[in-house]
Amino acid sequence: MPRPKKCRRICALPRHSSFGPLEGAADGVVEMAVEEYESIRLMDLLGCTQEECAAQMGVARSTVQQVYDAARKKLALALVEGRRLHISGGDYALCPQGEVCPGRSCARRDCGRGRCGCGSCSDKDDGQNSQNILK
């Protein structure tokens, strides 16, 4: 029996969940999970290392690498083949301090610190304060 998946902690849901070509019809849809989006945000946009990303998301570095690799492949597929990219679902838990976190705006690129500053994101999640959202 395989080990159960551990929820990945994310700071905020994406502001927009669907992206696609402006010219003509999209040639299909690529589905990206929210935790894959978060790995792209943390590593590519904010410049986190895999270790920092793993600590932020509450999983092992090897898990982050797998999630990130899958996200990059999906992003490339959407861009190169002109498909619509839709971000939803997955196995994730929202940061319990997401609404009041002083670093929450890092999801919107205008946070000077560039990292979530709530403090609870670097702690191990006991599962009591987070919302597990499965779609």
97-134 per-residue burial string, b: 16 or more CB within 10 A, e: under 16: bbeebebbbbbeeebeeebbbbebbeeebeeeebeebe
The confidence score (pLDDT) of residue 85 equals: 96
42: CB partners within 8 A, 6+ apart: 48, 52, 53, 56, 57
Residue-wise pLDDT tens for the chain (135 aa)?
787 777 888 888 888 999 999 888 888 999 999 999 999 998 998 888 999 899 888 899 999 999 999 999 999 999 999 999 999 999 898 887 666 654 444 544 444 444 555 544 544 444 333 333 333
Cα distances from 91 to residues 6, 21, 23, 30, 111, in angstroms, run 7, 28, 33, 17, 26
Instruction: Report the alpha-carbon distance of residue 40 to residue 73 in Å, rounded.
Output: 11
Instruction: Report the alpha-carbon distance of residue 55 to residue 49 in Å, rounded.
Output: 10
Instruction: Report the alpha-carbon distance of residue 135 to residue 132 in Å, rounded.
Output: 10
The confidence score (pLDDT) of residue 32 equals: 97
Q: Is 29 helix (H, G, I), strand (E, B) or coil?
A: strand
Whole-structure pTM value? 0.74
